[in-house]
């Protein structure tokens, strides 16, 4: 059994770490507090080819393996989790198009998406439908050579930059079960009736926008139906979200690692009763537990990413997302405790890590829902434990 990254992965991780340490870490706290969009960081990610990490090489992408994909989000989230969000939704949409799009759709969009000339996201969540995607109400009625789309989406990352935006709709609202009537349409920016109505204020996950979208009689050509066949939208989305759970697990590891780094550095600098607080056993217990949990989460994330190579890995990715996200939150809390009162100050990084960590247990399916996914995978013996 080999628990090490291969040489290419190690070199790639070192390159990512250098970029994050030079371009993201020095500005993250200031820009987040100012509400400043990270334009320069986005340009840097374009230069590195990171917008093409899930795009096949034939269309100009990097086509990373799932473990290298996880490394991207671990390292970027270590610097600023909101930046990982900009890349995350884009990468899932690219994965969806590359796996399920028609050749015409791939040729039209993937080369520009790979360079970041075009950017994208994924339009799934609605005011009354989050984890329960079959409950969406957005409809697409076929009229001749186009669909007429009506509905609303919310919490859409990259909404103001997405072109096109893959949107999950019901092409047959009467279908039973509901997923058989669901499809994905690629809606281009500027299409009449497609409106980003507002940015949603958030506790954390800043640096990228999360928006509400209104779709009012939006006319979408039939050629924009992903795969060219109705009724496959749910399967298309779920195949992309499998990578999404690896994305969230890896982001969680990045947050946890930064929380550990901040706690370790502070404990060696801060003095009490004439000595560094790292000399006190109570602090050592915290640091020891932090380091152990971070490494366990990292191995879980890489294991799940590796499982994705071999096909469907709902159980493995679900386990990793649950475990890593909960480690991230606990790591942020424990790092805050090591910092004492300073941990509650916006002048220290750990306060932001705490706010960002909370989302990890909610995004890409809540942890409680994913526990049922894991259980079903175990019952069907699709995931082996032990």
In the three-class reduction of DSSP (H, G, I as helix; E, B as strand; rest coil), residue 300 is classed as helix
Buried (b) or exposed (e) across 172-190, using 16+ Cβ within 10 A?
beeeeebbebbbbbbbebe
The residues, any chain, with a CB within 8 Å of residue 340's CB and separated by 6 or more, are 270
Among 74, 351, 364, 382, which one carries the catalytic annotation?
364
Which DSSP string do the residues of 8-39 spell out, in sequence order?
A: HHHHHHHHHHHHIIIIITTTHHHHHHHT---H
**Cβ neighbour number for residue 4 with a 10 Å cutoff:** 8
Nearest partner of 55 among 64, 47, 42, judged by Cα: 64
Residue 324 near residue 360 (C-beta atoms within 8 A): yes
- Rounded Cα–Cα distance for residues 329 and 350 (Å): 11
- The half-sphere exposure of 156 on its side-chain side, counting CA atoms within 13 A, is 30
Phi, psi of 125 (to 5 degrees): -65, 145
Q: Active site includes 43?
A: no
Phi, psi of 285 (to 5 degrees): -60, -40
- The half-sphere exposure of 367 on its side-chain side, counting CA atoms within 13 A, is 17
- Rounded Cα–Cα distance for residues 306 and 302 (Å): 6
What angle, 0 to 180 degrees and rounded to 10, lies between the N-to-C axes of helices 39-47 and 81-100? 50
Buried (b) or exposed (e) across 127-164, using 16+ Cβ within 10 A?
eebbeebeebebbbeeeeebbbbbbbbbbbbbbbbbbb
- Rounded Cα–Cα distance for residues 157 and 90 (Å): 9
Instruction: Kindly report the length of the chain.
Output: 386
Inter-CA distances, 232 with 184, 185, 219, Å:
8, 11, 20
Catalytic residues: 364
């Amino acid at each position: 059994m080999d628990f090490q990254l291969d040489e290419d992965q190690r070199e790639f991780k070192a390159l990512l770490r250098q970029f994050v340490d030079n371009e993201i870490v020095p500005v993250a706290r200031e820009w987040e507090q100012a509400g400043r969009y990270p334009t320069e960081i986005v340009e840097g990610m374009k230069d590195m080819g990171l917008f093409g990490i899930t795009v096949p090489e034939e269309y100009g992408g990097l086509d990373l393996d799932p473990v290298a994909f996880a490394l991207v989000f671990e390292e970027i989230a270590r610097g600023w989790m909101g930046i990982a969000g900009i890349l995350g939704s884009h990468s899932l949409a690219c994965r969806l198009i590359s796996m399920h799009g028609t050749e015409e759709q791939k040729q039209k969009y993937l080369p520009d998406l790979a360079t970041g000339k075009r950017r994208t996201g994924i339009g799934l969540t609605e005011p009354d439908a989050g984890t329960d995607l079959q409950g969406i109400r957005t409809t697409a009625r076929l009229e001749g050579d186009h669909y007429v789309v009506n509905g609303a989406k919310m919490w859409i990352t990259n909404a103001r930059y997405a072109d096109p935006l893959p949107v999950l709709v019901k092409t047959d609202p009467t279908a039973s079960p509901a997923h058989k009537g669901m499809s994905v349409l690629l809606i281009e920016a500027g299409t009449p009736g497609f409106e980003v109505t507002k940015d949603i204020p958030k506790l954390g996950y800043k640096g990228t926008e999360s928006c509400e979208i209104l779709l009012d009689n939006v006319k979408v050509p039939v050629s924009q139906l992903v795969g060219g066949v109705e009724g496959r939208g749910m399967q298309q989305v779920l195949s992309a979200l499998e990578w999404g759970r690896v994305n969230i697990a890896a982001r969680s590891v990045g947050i946890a690692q930064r929380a550990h780094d901040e706690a370790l550095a502070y404990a060696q600098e801060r003095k009490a009763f004439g000595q560094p607080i790292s000399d006190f056993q109570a602090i050592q217990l915290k640091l020891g537990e932090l380091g152990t949990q971070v490494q366990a989460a990292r191995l879980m994330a890489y294991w799940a990413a590796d499982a994705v190579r071999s096909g469907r890995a709902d159980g493995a990715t679900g386990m990793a997302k649950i475990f890593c996200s909960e480690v991230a939150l606990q790591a942020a809390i424990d790092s805050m405790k090591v910092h004492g009162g300073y941990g509650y100050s916006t002048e220290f990084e750990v306060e932001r890590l705490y706010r960002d960590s909370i989302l990890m247990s909610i995004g890409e399916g809540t942890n409680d829902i994913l526990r049922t996914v894991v259980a079903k995978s175990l019952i069907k013996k699709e995931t082996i434990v032990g």
